[in-house]
Structure 1
Amino acid sequence: MIERSMGGIAKRTDAIAFAADIEYPVNAKPYYVLGGRAMEIICSNDKLVTYLENAVEVNPKQPVLIDKYSSVSIEIDVNALTDTEGSVLIGGIMEHRAGWGSLWQFSLLIVPKIILSSCLEIISSWTTKLAKRLNVCGWLMNCQYAISAAGKVFFLEANPRALGTVPFVSKAIGHPLAKYASLVMSGKS
């Protein structure tokens, strides 16, 4: 059996078929937007048409990001740092306590996390591999994952840049991750 995609990029003309394929409700946001600006949870074809006509009218040639929304999934944010020697430091793993796709600014974040140890192993492994593959030396990298109610891990995205969660994690773990990143950029391991 082939599993359905949990989301991806669709052109406006294909967005309705794409959303129907992954099943409603979905998160939708313009591809060119950073963060959650113009992101909406959409529950039907009619609502998606309205969204595409209004929220995306700024640039209709750009694709739309559409992800499966699930209020029973857990979203995970990871902040990591890689040095010139290829060592990867996972500074923090945060668990969102809001629906999949909610912005961290509007979520309750939990550090330390309350997720299954098998999921932690997968998340740590994937984050390390991504950091090395993307060669994000000296940069704070943010990865986002989702864990289904059945305990399956899904990779959502990697940002080879620091996000606003870095100060939160730094305070929670008692280590200045941004300072460490600047030291790594200057050649420290």
Structure 2
Amino acid sequence: VAQSYQSSSVGSREFSLRLLQMISIVYHDVAVHLYTKYDGGIRKSPPDFNPQIPTPIPPPGMNFPPLPKMPRRPAEFFHESYMAWKHYPHGTADVVGYWAEHQLFGAVVLFDWGTPGTEVTRCALTLPQPYAANMMAWLKDVYIQPIGRHHIFKLSEAQIRNCIPTPLLEPSPGRHDGSETFRFQAGKYAIRIDPL
């Protein structure tokens, strides 16, 4: 990754994507390391701990069905779309890593590598729907995975143009400033896509 970053020309799309990839990998790995070093976090709940929603008191003459048990959270810090810890190489520590990336970058970003080990062909965001349109100005190739669902789709060119300010559509050759940089996350095991 570092070699690909160094080989790319400053200000190019490849340069920005490789930089984003390196930052996100380091940030994720630091969160995984700290979670592992402190053996699962600072405040630990007992293994049988399962918080319950208080049962509402029904009005006289009415009965409410019992509320379902809340699923146990895999870690103290988590992102709702990344809780399948059994699928991740570092297990629960990766759940915390994805949470940390979301806190830093505001989204979880995935990469489509095209030919393995060569160039990045696309970058994908996982954002809550209300925030997706605001973040689109940062990327041209966008796939959005709304929180709570496991569906990824590509936006049409018209949808992307509606969300991207005109100056960002065609940057000047050789120009590179803060408005064209990325600020999100990457991960090989970031999301499980269930078949439809």
TM-score, scaled relative to structure 2: 0.28
- Whichever structure has more helix as a proportion of its residues is 2
**Higher Rg:** 2
- Whichever structure has more strand as a proportion of its residues is 1
TM-score, scaled relative to structure 1: 0.29
